[in-house]
Amino acid sequence: MHSHQFNRLFAADQLRAPRGFIKPILGASPILEIGAGKGHHALSLAQTTEQSIIAIERTRTKFESFSKLASATDYPNLQPVHADAIPWCVHALPPNTLAQVFLLYPNPERANPNQRWHRMPFMEFLLSRIRTGGRLTLATNVESYAHECEQWLCEIWQLPVTIAPVDRRSERTAFEVKYLARGERCWQIEATKPEGYVTRFDDWSTVR
């Protein structure tokens, strides 16, 4: 199974490490959250697992709220990161590492569909960093986005995928709470990295 038959190569070697980059502590089965917002989901997850959780947020104001809450709660397994997740992943993660990646309620990029996570060449790199059997979990309140994401993960990225409505009582993130309170439907798309999955980044790493 190949990830890349239809896709442009992600230019990993052209990305510098984010400013102030610090190597994360990865532990045995690390979980990565991209676009963690104020950190609601990452903080709840840190309470319920001993796995290390790295939660990245690019927007300063959101990250500051997250960072304050993380300092107050002080979970030893939670690492909040203020960075753009794309160069951060390139410099922080060896191949075949992550047990799970969460992308919860990403911007639907209505004006720039090619900026959707599942459409970006970066997706191949991210998949190379997930371990065999690891999962990619994405949630959205936009029905067309959910179906497009499912289709891309299945047809373009050649992954086994499920799609299901999010339970109306779920309250993992600020956006999820807001959408469900308004009576909107939300969807969860989950892909699993199968045995024998090949990407062009499986032997590529800046991490030593």
Ligand X SMILES: C[S@@+](CC[C@H](N)C(=O)[O-])C[C@H]1O[C@@H](n2cnc3c(N)ncnc32)[C@H](O)[C@@H]1O
Interface residue list for ligand X (CB under 6 A): 34-37, 56-59, 62, 84-86, 104-107, 173-176
CB of 118 to ligand X, least distance (A): 14
Query: Are the C-beta atoms of residues 152 and 3 closer than 8 Å to each other?
Result: no
Query: Are the C-beta atoms of residues 97 and 54 closer than 8 Å to each other?
Result: no
CB of 39 to ligand X, least distance (A): 9
State which residue, 21 or 154, has the beta carbon closest to ligand X. Answer: 21
State which residue, 154 or 174, has the beta carbon closest to ligand X. Answer: 174
State which residue, 34 or 45, has the beta carbon closest to ligand X. Answer: 34
The closest of 171, 47, 99 to 179, measured between CA atoms, is 171
CB of 44 to ligand X, least distance (A): 12
CB of 26 to ligand X, least distance (A): 18
SS3 83: coil
CB of 33 to ligand X, least distance (A): 7
The size of the chain, in residues, is 208
* Residue keyed to tokens 């002080």: 74
The closest of 129, 128, 36 to 84, measured between CA atoms, is 36
Residue nearest ligand X by beta-carbon distance: 35
- How many whole angstroms separate alpha carbon 106 and alpha carbon 120? 13
State which residue, 88 or 197, has the beta carbon closest to ligand X. Answer: 88
114 Cβ neighbours under 8 A, 6+ residues apart: 120
State which residue, 57 or 190, has the beta carbon closest to ligand X. Answer: 57
The closest of 147, 30, 43 to 89, measured between CA atoms, is 30
Query: Are the C-beta atoms of residues 46 and 53 closer than 8 Å to each other?
Result: yes
State which residue, 17 or 174, has the beta carbon closest to ligand X. Answer: 174
CB of 108 to ligand X, least distance (A): 8
